[in-house]
Amino acid sequence: MSTPSVDKKTMSRREYMKTYRKTSRLKEMWDVFVANRLAVLGLIIITIFVLLALFANVIADYDTVAIASNPVDRFQGPSWKHLLGTDEMGRDIFARIIHGARISLRIGVLSVLVGLVFSCIIGATAGYLGGVADDIIMRIIDIMACIPRIVMAIAIVAAFGSSEFNMIMALGIATIASMSRVVRSAVLSVRDTEYVEAAKAVGQNTPKIVFSHILVNCVAPIIVQSTLAIATNVMSVSSLSFLGMGIAAPAPEWGCMIATARGNMRQYPFLVIAPGMAIFLTSMAFNLVGDGLRDALDPKLKR
Amino acid sequence: MEEITNTNNALLEIEDLHIHFVSKVETVKAINGLNLVVHKGKTLGLVGETGAGKTTTALAILNMIAKPQGRIVAGRITLDGEDIFSKTEDQMEGIRGNTVSMIFQDPMTSLNPVMTVGDQIAEVLQIHKKLSKTAAAKEAQKMLETVGIPGARSVEYPHQFSGGMKQRVLIALGLACTPKLLIADEPTTALDVTIQAQVLELMKDLKDQMNMSMLMITHDLGIVAEVCDEVAVMYAGAIVESGTLEDIFDRKRHPYTEGLFNSLPDVNNRTQSLKPIGGQMPNPADLPQGCSFHPRCEYAMPKCSQEEPPTHRFSETHCAKCWLYENTDQCMLASQDYVPSQGVSE
Amino acid sequence: MIRYIGKRLLLMLPVVIGVIFVVYLIMYLSPGDATTTILGTSWTPEGAEALREQLGLNQPFFKQFFTYLFHFFQGDLGTSYITKEAVINQVRISFPNTALLVLISMTLAVAVSIPIGIRAAVKPNSFFSAFTTAFALVGIAAPGFWIALLLVLLFSVKLGWLHASGLETWKDAILPSIVLALSFMASISRMMRSSMIEALGMDYVRTARAKGVKKHRVIYRHALGNALLPPLTVIGSYIGEMLGGAVICETVFAIPGMGRLMVNAVLQKDTPSVLASVSIMAICVAIMSLITDLAYAFFDPRIKALYMRGGKSK
């Protein structure tokens, strides 16, 4: 920082702040984030997908364009009328992909929120209470962690049926094991800091301390982990649907589209490639943003 | 000072060293025209605040400035008659740990956690003394005993040692090949006060036994008083005042040196309030014009912000870099000459 | 050390029981009735009641669960509702295929990604390093089944080199192993890279250089010795993810393994097979994480000391 030619003694506090603390913390984080070109690329891709998903009905009507079969137009190549061509039932692939974005983003984000709520409760309780409670909770989490994520999701969907609500719950529950560990270790890292001691000393009650002091200061790793979890869950949604255990045809779910297109893969590989690209781009974008956020929010994690 | 120094007597000479760290956004001027001499068999204390460039200087002596960001813009370092910067990396590997070795600041992290301390000491002996594995292991045990650790503990890992013990291991590591120069970078900062004294005593003893020179980097004037023969005060990448221990403690001339001493509590006069130096070290990426200390200097004159001051010599050994002495040898500082008290310089 | 291993093995028992409990609970809570699956078109209320009696489905939950658990540890995994075959026989056929697939992929992933990660760390600003980052991104973000189909398109449809399905010869294992290994190559190499970069910046590396150790040895002895530890722990925990990947991979390539067993069982509502396959996969994960812990202790003297003193793992 340059030393401005202001007499320090006569400078008011406000002037001092103005000269020496040019940037607020949020601005600083934003600057770090923006400096990471890949993260910005990720953010742009996410924005595009979100806009496409939001205005999917404006761009292409669900029932008539994305769902209704149109045998005359089967297997067409890309054209102005069909940006990405048509599938085996003459449906517009671009329309199906943007409607598919709705499903993937909705389930991806909501399932992470579900997992997050559970994980915050579990992880914060374990981390804050410590001792025997911590031991018991973490052993249960260890048990859950033994069941692979996708296997857990499949088991739950198998047991309760593959409605969208069940998928959200299944994928949400499948994220608990890893996410609650992150929350717990974040809580542990701030639990014994002075400001928490201070809150205890002035007699605040436990839930208030946990929520207003501890969780707030654990936000950084939790946000990073959630962003990465969205990427994983977007992939899981399509994997489940691909296996025939998630969203079923004729819904324009990406994994489901690939499963249907598989039969005609030899002649029309594009039908497999296009929805796959959509999954890949979405998942990659969330990964990039997650990495960018990690650098911006948590300077400790930076190299 | 180079014209006065008796070259035959100098083990290490640094002349007009400039080191910059260049990144996309800025150029950090870490070392700016540094001159330094360490005489044979003597201990030089390099004193300064954090960020003054002390560690960078030490790494430059080992030719270990991180490339490509770190650039040696100008200057020469002569160690034992050899020009360090003209050496290849291979040749440097033969000098490091052999002619010159370094003890780093933090003993907790400076030892490899997955190697036994014996192996770590033996490694340096195998490299430079070409000892066999078993001979090196035996010698390593002897070195451990020299620094007061039972030789049997050589099979233990660093985590099994306390901080002070680890620093002893690092000293053993540094001295294993009896170097001519030992650079100690704040070797006791991370230790408890009682352990500090033990480690310092040990280093002093071993230095005398092995008849080597030492460059003691520190910000603690107490340590300087205890172990050093000569002192160089560093500020923003350059030496502002240098001299013998007495020159600096009793006849200091530079306002920054005065500021350092004023920041120390005086045991004999506890009612006197401390007088810290106002402001902070300048950002090395954006150094002020003229004398880099002028924004914090109580004696600053208009000239100070325009031109860099010349080095003024007071005696054979003593010189300072300040405009106050443009026309005089007399002390211009408010505190005048220091009367040695029992507390600091014995 | 041996006492520690014994203790850990003993501690695994509750985990295994817990896993079976969780899976059993999920299956128990599921709506629907097994009798409709088994009897199909010949379903009558009387027949269904008799069948429930025979399968013990009328008993209270904990009685059912402990009966199942008791049989499980004796190697009796029940009888498939669909094929009427003992589930243990299905497992005997499927398990080696999955184990082989996972083993090959794991070896492949480690053998490729560790050197890649090291190199990318040693030359952090090179083209190679950038390439690794890009490659890692593809591996992490592209879904396995999609990569599988793309590889099939290329190698069996276009080039005709490899079969698209089955596991008859060793050649059939190539594509599935690559698919399965790919995402782990990505994360292991990424982790190795950052772990190595971190290690190279540590004080002990500087100490080693300052004592005149050759650059090569500084990298491969001092830095690598420490940098290998974090990826090592992760490799063990990837076993779970890998089994998850195997589920998808086996389905795409029609490999008769545990994953396909599970998927088919789920689709046919064959509860005993679902229970058995999920439980066995989870037990494999538990065993692997134990092995990793032990390996970690073997390589890192600090952790070893912790265990020897009887401290617990974190």
Closest of B175, B215, B264, A161 to residue C29, by C-alpha: A161
User: Whole-angstrom Cα distance, residue C141 to residue A285?
Assistant: 9
Instruction: Determine the residue of chain C that is closest to B104 in CA distance.
Output: C207
* Cα(B167)–Cα(B197) distance, integer angstroms: 12
Reported as a pLDDT band with limits 50, 70 and 90, residue A1 is: very low
Report how many helices (DSSP H) and strands (DSSP E) chain B contains, helices first: 10, 12
pLDDT at site B337 = 56
Q: Identify which of A15-19, B234-238, B341-345, C25-29 has the greatest average pLDDT.
A: B234-238
Q: How far apart are CA C164 and CA C157, in angstroms?
A: 8
State the pLDDT confidence band at B4, using cuts at 50, 70 and 90. Answer: very low
pLDDT for res A168: 93
Cα angle: B56, vertex B59, B64; to 5 degrees: 120
Residue among A213, A187, A205 at smallest CA distance from A120 = A187
SS3 content of chain B, % helix, strand, coil (to 5): 35, 25, 40
**Chain C contact for A145, CB < 8 A?**
yes
Contact C174, A268 (CB under 8 A): no
Confidence bin at B39 (pLDDT 50/70/90): very high
d(CA B258, CA B267) in angstroms, rounded, equals: 17
Q: What share of chain C is helix, strand, coil (3-state, %, to 5)?
A: 80, 0, 20
Give the pLDDT score at A234. Answer: 93
Alpha carbon C110 to its chain centroid, in Å, reads: 14
Q: Largest alpha-carbon pair distance within chain B?
A: 66
CA dihedral B141, B142, B146, B148 (to 10 degrees): 40
Residue A4 pLDDT > 60, yes or no?
no
Per DSSP bridges, beta strands B319-321 and B238-244 are antiparallel
Whole-angstrom CA distances from A163 to A23, A247, A248, B75, B186 are 48, 7, 9, 74, 65
Token pair listed for C226? 């420490």
Residues in B closer than 8 angstroms to C208, CB to CB, are 112, 123
Q: What residues contact residue B303 under an 8 Å CB cut-off, 6+ apart?
A: B290, B323
Q: How far apart are CA C225 and CA C222, in angstroms?
A: 6
Pairing mode, strands B100-103 and B181-185: parallel
Which tokens belong to A20? 């020496």
Average pLDDT, integer, range A178-203: 82
In which element (H, E) is residue B193 found?
helix B193-210
Instruction: List chain B residues with CB under 8 Å of A9.
Output: none
pLDDT at B216: 93
> What's the rounded Cα separation, in Å, for the pair C95 and C77?
14
Q: What is the pLDDT of residue A23?
A: 54
**Mean of pLDDT values over A152-161:** 85
pLDDT tens digits, A20-42:
555 566 777 787 788 888 889 99
Contacts of C145 in chain A (CB under 8 A): 239, 242, 255, 258
Tell me how close the Cα of C11 comes to any Cα of chain A, in angstroms. 10
- The ipTM value here is 0.82
Q: What is the mean pLDDT of chain A?
A: 81
User: In whole angstroms, what is the distance from residue B170 CA to residue B190 CA?
Assistant: 13
pTM: 0.76
What pLDDT digit, counting tens, does each position of C66-81 carry? 888 888 888 888 888 7
Query: Model confidence over A90-109: pLDDT tens digits?
Result: 777 888 888 889 889 999 99
Tell me the mean pLDDT in the region B105-122. 90
Phi then psi dihedrals of residue B45, to 5 deg: -95, 125
Nearest to C285 by CA among C233, C229, C242: C242
CA A120 to chain centre: 16
The overall average pLDDT reported for chain C is 83
| Torsion sign (Cα): C192, C193, C198, C202 | positive
Alpha-carbon dihedral sign for residues A131, A136, A140, A145: positive
Percent of chain B with pLDDT over 70: 92
Listed ranges B265-274, C10-19, C56-65, C91-100; the one with the highest mean pLDDT: C91-100
For residue B180, the 8-state DSSP code is S
- What SS3 class is residue B21? strand
Closest-approach residue (CA) in chain A for C193: A303
Q: Which residue of C has its CA nearest to A263?
A: C149
pLDDT digits 0-9 by tens, A113-122: 999 999 999 9
Contact A154, C263 (CB under 8 A): yes
Q: Would you tell me which residues 251-310 of chain B have a C-beta closer than 8 angstroms to some C-beta of chain A?
A: 278-279, 282-283, 286, 288, 295
The pLDDT of residue A220 is: 82
- DSSP for A214-249? IIHHTHHHHHHHHHHHHHHHHHHHHHHHHTTSSSPT
Residue B311: its H or E element? strand B311-313
Q: Say yes or no for a CB contact (<8 Å) between B159 and C301.
A: yes
Domains of chain A in start order, with CATH, are 44-74+84-302 (1.10.3720.10)
pLDDT given at position B231 = 93
pLDDT at residue A300, as a whole number: 52
Q: Which residues of A touch B295 (CB under 8 A)?
A: 3
Residue A71: cis peptide before it, omega within 30 degrees of 0: no
Contact A1 B283 (CB under 8 A): yes
Residues of A in contact with B282 (CB under 8 A): 3
Across all residues in chain B, what is the average pLDDT? Answer: 86
Say if CB C211 and CB B123 are below 8 A apart.
Answer: yes
Of the candidates B39, B41, B35, the one whose C-alpha atom is nearest the C-alpha of residue B14 is: B35
| pLDDT greater than 60 at residue C259 | yes
Q: With a cut of 60, say whether residue A302 has pLDDT above it.
A: no
Q: Are C291 and C236 in contact (CB under 8 A)?
A: yes
Q: For residue A211, what is the DSSP state?
A: I
> Nearest to residue A259, comparing CAs of C276, C149, C281?
C149
The arithmetic mean of pLDDT across residues A209-230, rounded, is: 82
Token duo for residue B156:
């233990």
Q: What is the mean pLDDT of residues A246-264?
A: 83
The string of pLDDT tens digits covering residues C116-162 is 888 888 887 778 878 877 888 888 888 888 988 888 888 877 777 77
Q: Which domains does chain B have, with CATH numbers?
A: 10-99+179-342 (3.40.50.300), 101-178 (no CATH)
Q: Give the three-state DSSP class for B184.
A: strand
AA letter at C200: L
